[in-house]
Structure 1
């Protein structure tokens, strides 16, 4: 029996193998992200790693490898609930495989985005998860390709011939929003967004526009897009309403825009949904607890992060083949902020599934 207070022996790869009922070689393959291991064995290894608190020796590992057991993550900003959750999930999934996550914010700057990627390349990271400022054709993505980096791109992307991409199905979600608003009788909708050149903004806008006009050809759709900040959007919104424009609904293509719109409504003494309806892309706790609760498109954040890390570690493990372009479905929740023009809340509330 070990003396009380004596340091505990660090769990070894053989301890993990014994607990998981697999060989030490299998454990090693799982921790390196090799894609040929059976999914059931992968899960048993991860369960054993978590139960034992196993940690790989990074120095010994890096001496055998040309790259470090570090995963880089670059996102446009850390403030939003979406990217905050993405980073949290990426970190958890990286550590589960014995890697450390180094995350940085591009601050919505493509120049800074490329600079961060160059720095991560110097650090010899094993792979990178990149959420580009605009789309998959960013300077940072071009740098990754030219430098032979292993990477996956998420969120503001559609498809790429060099890297796997994962994003929410923004167009389908926006089409569902259009169906809900048209079904409630709306024929004049203002769409507000940030960053016209971002792939997701384009997909959300066009998905809404195409479906709304297909269902109601007489629909009037006004659009206000701000390039990089909410301050110009707030000013444009005040100017728009100040000219006497009165759409019956506003669809915000990003979370901060939803808050800007709601603030402007309250400044003018308008109430949802009696005076105007409101739907926002992205959900947040404040949207659920405010009254009335704000209708929202809920993105599959954790699913996107999980898919990104799964694909990234497959590539790190040597998997070849054409790049994948995955679209994950969103959930549209039509809460109390949406009703018929002048008719109050939509009967029944709830979700729009």
Structure 2
């Protein structure tokens, strides 16, 4: 089996130079680096990562702790993390904390015991044990998707990477208001998560921008999962004056809401309009096609890796929070008509399909007639 010394002789460099190329511990001239890489390829040299970790105190591995890995959103984040880590020569160890604070701390400890160089974690609704452990052991970490504002029980600040939540949710509200809706329900996420509180804040901002009053009864937690969203949707439909439009705050809750609407015999968007936070692969295959906020899932995962590697390179730099923009995906579940070629347009407007109208006070000409309450509640 070829050794590092064999690679050095073939490339005409020192063993130290080969080490610098492999470990990226010191800049190497491009032509020298290429000569080393060519020698590695020609000889079929495979680095001994275990021996290298004993010398460098680095395993070139990253721990990833995210719940609901089966959720398409987190699956795409995982793909982004994996691709970015592999590009930089890092392997990935994955654990599912199940959104349980106690289990979360245990899986993070297990990852730490495997001597990962750093961690990427999507924290639970109560991350105090997690943050205390990471801080106590000085584990380089990036918080993913769900951010922590300020300090929690004096825990140190951590780097954070997430999507914008407030403004995109507000846009869904103003879009529906622009179609004439005055009672817009929100199936919110699990209480305690930053994504939940930020999307509720966006919902309120959207109502204020549209000049609509806030009715707290129109905000019901679906607990970020399908069954809870189904129950939340049933609660909203049972109000004395039910909503004429719904916003679901993640993709799993969209499925639960649709299931309940179908069970009640309600048609989307004829009986009730629907917009959702989180686009997903099959959203374009529903009938009607789902109007949604699309998060840059893979980019979030890749950015988390970049931020973590920057932390490993500069342990003392200030913590930062990176927010990535979302996209408004305009389809037909909101009640807008679809023209030939699959383009979607607001009724009564001449706006480009990529920039739907979102007036703060909808004009009378675009007001949407509210469905019969008897039909909506059957």
- CA deviation map 1:100-120 (0-9, x unaligned): 101111111111110001111
Q: How does 1:56-67 map to 2 (within 5 A)?
A: 56-67=47-58
> 2:222, 2:253 within 8 Å by CA — same for their partners in 1?
no
**2:21 is the counterpart of 1:27:** yes
> 2:225, 2:253 within 8 Å by CA — same for their partners in 1?
no
Shift of 1:267: 1.7
* Map of 1:175 onto structure 2: 170
- CA deviation map 1:320-344 (0-9, x unaligned): 311011111000112100127xxx9
Structure 1 residues 14 and 279: alpha-carbon distance in aligned structure 2, compared to 1, 3 A threshold: farther
* Map of 1:89 onto structure 2: 80
**2:285 is the counterpart of 1:289:** yes
- CA deviation map 1:165-195 (0-9, x unaligned): 0100101211221221222221101100221
Mapped to 2, the partners of 1:293 and 1:229 lie a distance apart of 21
Structure 1 residues 10 and 81: alpha-carbon distance in aligned structure 2, compared to 1, 3 A threshold: farther
User: TM-score, normalization: structure 1?
Assistant: 0.81
Q: Which region of structure 1 is more displaced relative to structure 2, 209-218 or 273-282?
A: 209-218
- How big is the alpha-carbon RMSD for the aligned residues of Structure 1 and Structure 2? 3.4
Among 158, 166, 175, the residue aligned to 2:161: 166
- Residue-pair matches, total: 329
Shift of 1:246: 2.5
User: TM-score, normalization: structure 2?
Assistant: 0.76
Report the structure number with the largest CA radius of gyration.
Answer: 2
Shift of 1:345: 7.4
- What is the DSSP-based 3-state SS (H/G/I as helix, E as strand, rest coil) of the residue aligned with 2:117? strand
* Map of 2:346 onto structure 1: 346
* Map of 1:156 onto structure 2: 146
Shift of 1:96: 2.1
Q: Which consecutive residues of structure 2, in runs of 5 or more, have no partner in the other structure?
A: 151-155, 337-343, 357-378
Mapped to 2, the partners of 1:306 and 1:54 lie a distance apart of 28
> 1:108, 1:228 within 8 Å by CA — same for their partners in 2?
no
- CA deviation map 1:238-272 (0-9, x unaligned): 24324554311100011111111111222222222
Mapped to 1, the partners of 2:7 and 2:354 lie a distance apart of 47
> 1:333, 1:350 within 8 Å by CA — same for their partners in 2?
no
> 2:65, 2:121 within 8 Å by CA — same for their partners in 1?
yes
* Map of 2:219 onto structure 1: 223
Instruction: Compare the two structures and name the one with the higher strand fraction.
Output: 1
Shift of 1:57: 2.6
